[in-house]
Structure 1
Amino acid sequence: MNNFIIIFVFLILGIVLQKVKQFPANSYKLLNKIVINVCLPALSLYYIPKIQWNNQLLYPVGVAWIGFIISFFLFRFLGNKYGWSKKLTGCLILTAGLSNTSFLGFPIIEALYGEEGMKTAILVDQPGSFVVLSTLGILVAMFYSTGKPNGLLIAKKIVLFPPFIAFMVACFMNLFHFDFQDGMQFVLQKTGSGVTPLALLSVGLQLRFDIRSQHWRFLGLGLLYKLILTPAIIYLLYAVVLNQHSEIIQVSIMESAMAPMITGCILASTYGLKPRLCSMMIGFGIPLSFVTLAFWYLVLQLI
């Protein structure tokens, strides 16, 4: 219960601080940098060396890849059929195809499944969402904005990204059965715990509700795929077709049901792929996801 209180307190605090003129308007950018470059690497270095690897772990890693690839083919098909602009198609692929598996996912999974759930959430996020964003995501952004993807730039972004570096270091530590001593583990755990308040404060600072927008139809389509169809597809594939019912599967499905990824929306906006629709996907997607996440959590208690 305390974790849920923290979630709503910092989310509402961020929304309130938007109205305070003395509060820097772009402060969320600093918070994002701290979360991405400090807190997320700390979580990887704390949790991944402790994970016992097995075939079950392929399921959380595959969540982001499955969701994004289906998003690509679905919205590319709809875009061609109905004559959408390349920017609109690219925007929907990116914003509907990527889940907010860290900024929202980590605090929610920790609240629902505890520390064991976080081990799975890290796998959904790092080799899943982050690598998809940094490879397929950038390819889509470049293609639908300029049509000229830059392979060297993609490779550079992956290799030099602090969470990815920490993820690779943590994987090698796990491979060689090495972990930090207690003092360092305490530091990493406390540093990583900053994800919840800082990420949710950042989300609150960025929430926008554009009532007069012309993008309502596309907003509804994007959120339908992100909040309903994506987790339904993962549920059918993992729980029904493959008959998997472990807590790892539950966490994987919950992570797939998260609101659109903020970083993915920022990437789409940066490349000029319908920035206003990007903001709406975050602004309406995050509050609505609390309702749909409750629905999916209840569904998962039945399997």
Structure 2
Amino acid sequence: MYNFILIFVFLFLGLILQNVKGFPVSVYKVLNTIVIYFCLPALALYYIPKIEASDELLYPIGVAWITFGGAYLFFNFLSKKFGWSKKLTGCLIITAGLGNTSFLGFPIIQALYGEEGMKTAILVDQPGSFVVLSTLAIIVATMYSSGKPNGLQIVKKIAIFPPFITFLVACLMNFLNLDFHYYIQFTLQQIGIVMTPLAMLSVGLQLQFDRKSQHWRFLGYGLLYKLILTPAVIYVLYVVILQQHSKTIEVAVMESAMAPMITASILASAHGLKPRLCSMMIGFGIPLSFITLLFWYFILQL
């Protein structure tokens, strides 16, 4: 209960601070930097060495790859059917194809499933969402904005990104059955703890609601795919077809139901892929996801 209170308090605090005259709303960029370069690496180094290797780990890792691949097929199909522009199609592939599995996902998973749930959430986010964002999403953003992807730049972005580096270090430690001294683990855990308030404050500072936009229909398609179709596909594939029933699978399904990723929206917007629609996917997607997440949590408890 404490974690849920923390989520909403800092989310609404961010919304309130947006309207405080003179408050530097752009401070969310600093918060994002702290979360990405300090909190996420700390969480990876704390949790991943403790994960017990098994075939079941492939399920959470596969969530982001399945989601993005499905988005590519789904929105290209709609694009051909309705005659959408490349920029509109690219925008929806990226914003609906990647979930907010860390900024939003970690606090919610920690509140619902505790420490064990976080081990799975890390796998959904690091080798899943982050790697997809750094590779496939960059390729799509470049192609759909009429450019050509630079393979060397993509590799460089991945290689020098701190969370990915620490992810590799943590995986190596897991493979060698190593872990940090207790005091270092405690420090990493404390750094990771501040991620929830910082991440939710950042989200609150960035939420925008553009009621006069002409993109309502496209917003509907994007959120339908991200909040309803994606978790439905993951649920049917993992639970119904493959008959997997565990907390790991529950966390994987819940992470698949998270709202669109803020960083993915920024990436699409930076490439000129319908910036206003990108903002709407975040602005309306995050509040609506709290409702749809309750629905999926209820389904998983049946």
- Whether these two folds match at TM > 0.5 is yes
What are the ranges of 5 or more consecutive residues in structure 1 without an aligned counterpart?
A: none
Q: Which amino acid aligns with 2:127?
A: P
Q: Which amino acid aligns with 2:273?
A: L
Q: TM-score, with normalisation over the residues of structure 1?
A: 0.99
Aligned partner of 1:60 in structure 2 is 60
Aligned partner of 1:291 in structure 2 is 291
Secondary structure in structure 2 of the residue aligned to 1:208: coil
Per-residue displacement from partner, 1:203-261 (whole Å, max 9, x unpaired)? 00000000000000000110000000000000000000000010000000000000000
1:135-174 aligned within 5 A: 135-174=135-174
Query: Structure 1: how far apart are the matches of 2:42 and 2:21?
Result: 33
1:57-136 aligned within 5 A: 57-136=57-136
Aligned partner of 2:47 in structure 1 is 47
Query: Structure 2: how far apart are the matches of 1:224 and 1:153?
Result: 33
Aligned partner of 2:259 in structure 1 is 259
- Residue 147 of structure 1 deviates from its aligned partner by 3.0
1:235-250 aligned within 5 A: 235-250=235-250
Query: Structure 2: how far apart are the matches of 1:72 and 1:227?
Result: 16
Aligned partner of 1:282 in structure 2 is 282
Q: Which amino acid aligns with 1:17?
A: L
Query: Structure 2: how far apart are the matches of 1:245 and 1:193?
Result: 29
Query: Structure 2: how far apart are the matches of 1:220 and 1:286?
Result: 14
- Residue 111 of structure 1 deviates from its aligned partner by 0.3
Query: Structure 2: how far apart are the matches of 1:295 and 1:70?
Result: 22
Query: Structure 2: how far apart are the matches of 1:26 and 1:61?
Result: 32
1:180-199 aligned within 5 A: 180-199=180-199
Q: TM-score, with normalisation over the residues of structure 2?
A: 0.99
What are the ranges of 5 or more consecutive residues in structure 2 without an aligned counterpart?
A: none
Aligned partner of 1:206 in structure 2 is 206
Identity %, equivalent residues: 72
Matched, 1:11 2:11: yes
- Residue 25 of structure 1 deviates from its aligned partner by 2.3
Per-residue displacement from partner, 1:142-177 (whole Å, max 9, x unpaired)? 000123111011001100111000000000111111
- Residue 83 of structure 1 deviates from its aligned partner by 1.2
Q: Which amino acid aligns with 2:136?
A: L
Query: Structure 1: how far apart are the matches of 2:104 and 2:71?
Result: 21
Q: Which amino acid aligns with 1:96?
A: A
- Residue 194 of structure 1 deviates from its aligned partner by 1.5
Secondary structure in structure 1 of the residue aligned to 2:25: coil
- Residue 78 of structure 1 deviates from its aligned partner by 1.1
Secondary structure in structure 2 of the residue aligned to 1:226: helix
Secondary structure in structure 2 of the residue aligned to 1:26: helix
